[in-house]
Amino acid sequence: MRLCPAFGYNVTAMVKLRCLIALGLFCAKASFAQGTMLFTWHGQSNLFQASFEVTQAEMQPGAPLGSSILFNSISFTSSLSGVSYTYNSSLDPVGGGLNPWSWGMILYNTQTGTQINVSGGEPPIGAMQGLIIEHPFQPGQDFYNTEGGYWSFSAVPEPSTGALLSLGVAAWALKAARG
Protein backbone atom coordinates (compact mmCIF):
# COMPACT_ATOMS: atom_id res chain seq x y z
CA MET A 1 0.00 0.00 0.00
CA ARG A 2 1.61 3.25 -1.17
CA LEU A 3 1.16 6.32 1.01
CA CYS A 4 1.81 9.88 -0.01
CA PRO A 5 4.36 11.06 2.59
CA ALA A 6 3.33 14.70 2.37
CA PHE A 7 -0.37 14.15 3.04
CA GLY A 8 -0.56 10.64 4.51
CA TYR A 9 -3.20 9.16 2.18
CA ASN A 10 -3.27 6.06 0.00
CA VAL A 11 -2.35 7.03 -3.59
CA THR A 12 -4.06 3.96 -5.11
CA ALA A 13 -7.31 4.74 -3.30
CA MET A 14 -7.18 8.35 -4.48
CA VAL A 15 -6.74 7.24 -8.11
CA LYS A 16 -9.78 4.97 -7.74
CA LEU A 17 -11.74 7.82 -6.14
CA ARG A 18 -10.91 10.14 -9.04
CA CYS A 19 -12.09 7.54 -11.55
CA LEU A 20 -15.29 6.97 -9.58
CA ILE A 21 -16.01 10.72 -9.39
CA ALA A 22 -15.35 11.16 -13.13
CA LEU A 23 -17.67 8.25 -13.95
CA GLY A 24 -20.35 9.62 -11.61
CA LEU A 25 -20.19 13.08 -13.15
CA PHE A 26 -20.46 11.62 -16.64
CA CYS A 27 -23.44 9.47 -15.65
CA ALA A 28 -25.16 12.39 -13.90
CA LYS A 29 -24.75 14.55 -17.00
CA ALA A 30 -26.05 11.82 -19.31
CA SER A 31 -28.97 10.79 -17.11
CA PHE A 32 -32.27 12.34 -18.14
CA ALA A 33 -34.62 9.73 -16.72
CA GLN A 34 -37.25 12.30 -15.79
CA GLY A 35 -38.04 12.79 -19.48
CA THR A 36 -39.04 16.46 -19.41
CA MET A 37 -37.63 19.49 -21.18
CA LEU A 38 -37.56 23.05 -19.79
CA PHE A 39 -38.21 25.86 -22.29
CA THR A 40 -36.94 29.33 -21.32
CA TRP A 41 -37.70 32.66 -23.02
CA HIS A 42 -34.89 34.98 -24.15
CA GLY A 43 -36.48 38.26 -25.18
CA GLN A 44 -34.73 41.02 -27.06
CA SER A 45 -35.46 43.57 -24.30
CA ASN A 46 -36.08 41.37 -21.23
CA LEU A 47 -39.69 42.57 -20.99
CA PHE A 48 -40.97 39.08 -20.14
CA GLN A 49 -39.67 36.21 -18.05
CA ALA A 50 -41.23 32.96 -19.18
CA SER A 51 -40.80 29.22 -18.99
CA PHE A 52 -42.68 25.95 -19.32
CA GLU A 53 -41.91 22.23 -19.31
CA VAL A 54 -42.99 19.54 -21.75
CA THR A 55 -42.67 15.77 -21.85
CA GLN A 56 -40.49 13.81 -24.26
CA ALA A 57 -43.71 12.61 -25.92
CA GLU A 58 -44.66 16.23 -26.74
CA MET A 59 -41.25 16.70 -28.40
CA GLN A 60 -41.95 13.99 -31.00
CA PRO A 61 -42.84 15.00 -34.59
CA GLY A 62 -46.52 15.82 -34.94
CA ALA A 63 -47.32 15.40 -31.23
CA PRO A 64 -49.76 17.96 -29.83
CA LEU A 65 -49.19 19.96 -26.66
CA GLY A 66 -51.44 18.97 -23.78
CA SER A 67 -49.72 17.25 -20.84
CA SER A 68 -50.42 18.15 -17.23
CA ILE A 69 -46.69 18.86 -16.87
CA LEU A 70 -47.02 21.61 -19.50
CA PHE A 71 -50.16 23.14 -18.02
CA ASN A 72 -48.82 23.10 -14.44
CA SER A 73 -45.49 24.66 -15.41
CA ILE A 74 -46.59 27.56 -17.65
CA SER A 75 -45.29 30.78 -16.09
CA PHE A 76 -45.04 34.24 -17.67
CA THR A 77 -44.29 37.55 -15.96
CA SER A 78 -44.29 41.00 -17.53
CA SER A 79 -41.60 43.29 -16.13
CA LEU A 80 -43.47 46.34 -17.51
CA SER A 81 -46.87 45.71 -15.94
CA GLY A 82 -45.71 43.41 -13.11
CA VAL A 83 -48.50 40.97 -13.99
CA SER A 84 -47.96 37.20 -13.77
CA TYR A 85 -49.75 34.70 -15.96
CA THR A 86 -50.30 30.98 -15.33
CA TYR A 87 -52.50 28.46 -17.08
CA ASN A 88 -56.23 28.40 -16.29
CA SER A 89 -57.99 25.41 -17.85
CA SER A 90 -61.36 27.17 -18.07
CA LEU A 91 -60.01 30.23 -19.92
CA ASP A 92 -56.71 29.67 -21.67
CA PRO A 93 -56.39 28.02 -25.10
CA VAL A 94 -53.13 26.24 -25.91
CA GLY A 95 -52.47 24.57 -29.25
CA GLY A 96 -49.93 23.42 -31.75
CA GLY A 97 -46.82 21.33 -31.41
CA LEU A 98 -43.10 21.74 -30.82
CA ASN A 99 -41.93 19.59 -33.70
CA PRO A 100 -42.30 21.26 -36.13
CA TRP A 101 -42.02 24.51 -34.19
CA SER A 102 -45.49 26.01 -34.49
CA TRP A 103 -47.62 26.65 -31.41
CA GLY A 104 -49.51 29.32 -29.52
CA MET A 105 -51.22 30.07 -26.25
CA ILE A 106 -53.33 32.85 -24.81
CA LEU A 107 -53.18 33.41 -21.05
CA TYR A 108 -55.62 35.67 -19.22
CA ASN A 109 -55.24 37.43 -15.89
CA THR A 110 -58.82 38.20 -14.87
CA GLN A 111 -57.73 40.25 -11.83
CA THR A 112 -55.97 42.85 -13.98
CA GLY A 113 -58.06 42.50 -17.16
CA THR A 114 -54.99 41.72 -19.26
CA GLN A 115 -53.84 38.86 -21.44
CA ILE A 116 -50.74 37.71 -23.24
CA ASN A 117 -50.61 36.06 -26.63
CA VAL A 118 -47.60 33.81 -26.97
CA SER A 119 -46.54 32.19 -30.21
CA GLY A 120 -43.72 30.10 -31.53
CA GLY A 121 -43.11 29.74 -35.23
CA GLU A 122 -42.57 33.35 -36.21
CA PRO A 123 -40.28 33.78 -39.21
CA PRO A 124 -37.88 32.13 -39.69
CA ILE A 125 -39.94 29.04 -38.90
CA GLY A 126 -37.95 26.30 -37.23
CA ALA A 127 -35.45 28.61 -35.54
CA MET A 128 -37.34 28.56 -32.20
CA GLN A 129 -38.30 32.19 -32.69
CA GLY A 130 -41.26 33.53 -30.75
CA LEU A 131 -43.37 36.55 -29.93
CA ILE A 132 -45.12 37.67 -26.74
CA ILE A 133 -47.80 40.38 -26.80
CA GLU A 134 -49.43 41.71 -23.63
CA HIS A 135 -52.59 43.80 -23.90
CA PRO A 136 -55.91 44.44 -22.14
CA PHE A 137 -59.03 42.43 -22.86
CA GLN A 138 -61.30 44.80 -20.94
CA PRO A 139 -62.30 48.27 -22.14
CA GLY A 140 -60.68 51.30 -20.56
CA GLN A 141 -57.07 50.21 -20.89
CA ASP A 142 -54.96 50.85 -23.93
CA PHE A 143 -51.44 49.44 -24.09
CA TYR A 144 -49.52 46.84 -26.01
CA ASN A 145 -46.26 45.40 -24.74
CA THR A 146 -44.61 43.39 -27.48
CA GLU A 147 -41.35 41.48 -27.46
CA GLY A 148 -39.71 39.20 -29.98
CA GLY A 149 -37.10 36.68 -29.00
CA TYR A 150 -36.36 32.99 -28.98
CA TRP A 151 -36.82 29.92 -26.80
CA SER A 152 -34.06 27.64 -25.57
CA PHE A 153 -34.61 24.24 -24.01
CA SER A 154 -32.69 21.84 -21.82
CA ALA A 155 -33.38 18.47 -20.28
CA VAL A 156 -34.55 18.43 -16.67
CA PRO A 157 -32.29 15.90 -14.92
CA GLU A 158 -33.63 13.24 -12.60
CA PRO A 159 -33.07 14.62 -9.08
CA SER A 160 -32.21 11.23 -7.60
CA THR A 161 -29.13 10.85 -9.82
CA GLY A 162 -27.12 13.42 -7.87
CA ALA A 163 -28.39 12.14 -4.54
CA LEU A 164 -27.43 8.54 -5.31
CA LEU A 165 -24.02 9.62 -6.58
CA SER A 166 -23.40 11.61 -3.38
CA LEU A 167 -24.43 8.67 -1.17
CA GLY A 168 -22.19 6.29 -3.11
CA VAL A 169 -19.15 8.55 -2.86
CA ALA A 170 -19.78 9.15 0.86
CA ALA A 171 -20.11 5.39 1.54
CA TRP A 172 -16.95 4.67 -0.43
CA ALA A 173 -15.03 7.41 1.41
CA LEU A 174 -16.24 6.09 4.79
CA LYS A 175 -15.20 2.55 3.86
CA ALA A 176 -11.80 3.76 2.66
CA ALA A 177 -11.27 5.75 5.85
CA ARG A 178 -12.05 2.73 8.05
CA GLY A 179 -10.11 0.22 5.97
Assess whether 145 and 58 both reside in one domain: yes
If pLDDT is split at 50, 70 and 90, which confidence band does 43 have?
Answer: very high
Asked if residue 4 has pLDDT above 60, the reply is: no
Q: Which of 17-21, 40-44, 47-51, 117-121 has the lowest mean pLDDT?
A: 17-21
Q: Is 120 inside any structural domain?
A: yes
Q: Residue 32: its pLDDT value, please?
A: 45
Nearest-10 Cα torsion for 115, 98, 72, 82: -30
Q: Which of 10-19, 80-89, 146-155 has the lowest mean pLDDT?
A: 10-19
State how many domains the chain has. Answer: 2
Q: Is 41 inside any structural domain?
A: yes
Q: Is 4 inside any structural domain?
A: no
Q: What is the CATH number of the domain that holds 140?
A: 2.40.128
Domain that holds residue 150: 36-156
Asked if residue 138 has pLDDT above 70, the reply is: yes
Q: Is 67 inside any structural domain?
A: yes
Asked if residue 178 has pLDDT above 70, the reply is: yes
If pLDDT is split at 50, 70 and 90, which confidence band does 87 have?
Answer: very high
Give one DSSP letter per residue of 30-69, joined into a string. Answer: H--TT-EEEEEEEESS--EEEEEEEETGGGSTTPPP--HH
Q: Is 6 inside any structural domain?
A: no
pTM score, two decimals? 0.69
Assess whether 168 and 150 both reside in one domain: no
Q: Is 107 inside any structural domain?
A: yes
